[in-house]
């Protein structure tokens, strides 16, 4: 249905990379529970980032979710040259990147 852009692929790779830092089995488990408990496929994370954030908070608590989001944001910042120390949330970063790469 929707065309996945190179930027979308790159953002999802950032998410993958950050989650793998927690361990391969943890990464696989997170994607499994996203699908099972939140009906959220990996490919839908960028279209439904608020559900992704809610799922992380529900699974890991507020502090755990913040830590994971920080790992993701470091990856995104490194790959998209976002300002170091930027206070963007994952959802805000997705919107910013998508709007700056649209033609």
DSSP 8-state secondary structure symbol assigned to residue 62: H
Instruction: State CA 45 to chain mean position distance.
Output: 7
- The reported pLDDT for the residue numbered 88 is 85
- The reported pLDDT for the residue numbered 2 is 47
How much of the chain, in percent, has pLDDT values that exceed 70? 89
Superfamily of domain 6-101: Protein of unknown function DUF3227 (1.10.1200.200)
User: At residue 8, what are phi and psi to the nearest 5 degrees?
Assistant: -60, -45
Contacts of 52 (CB under 8 A, 6+ apart): 34, 40, 45, 90
Closest CA to 2 of 96, 73, 98: 98
- Count H helices and E strands in the chain, helices first: 4, 0
Contact 21, 71 (CB under 8 A): yes
Q: What whole-number distance in Å separates Cα of residue 98 and Cα of residue 48? A: 13
Q: What whole-number distance in Å separates Cα of residue 96 and Cα of residue 47? A: 13
The whole-model pTM stands at 0.87
- The reported pLDDT for the residue numbered 4 is 58
């Amino acid at each position: 249905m929707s065309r996945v852009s190179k930027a979308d692929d790159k953002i999802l790779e950032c998410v993958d990379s950050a989650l793998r830092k927690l361990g391969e089995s943890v990464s696989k488990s997170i994607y499994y529970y996203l699908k099972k408990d939140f009906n959220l496929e990996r490919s839908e994370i960028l279209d439904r980032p608020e559900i992704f954030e809610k799922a992380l908070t529900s699974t890991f608590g507020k502090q755990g979710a913040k830590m994971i989001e920080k790992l993701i944001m470091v990856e995104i910042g490194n790959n998209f040259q976002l300002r170091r120390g930027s206070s963007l949330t994952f959802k805000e970063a997705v919107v910013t990147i998508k709007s700056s790469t649209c033609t």
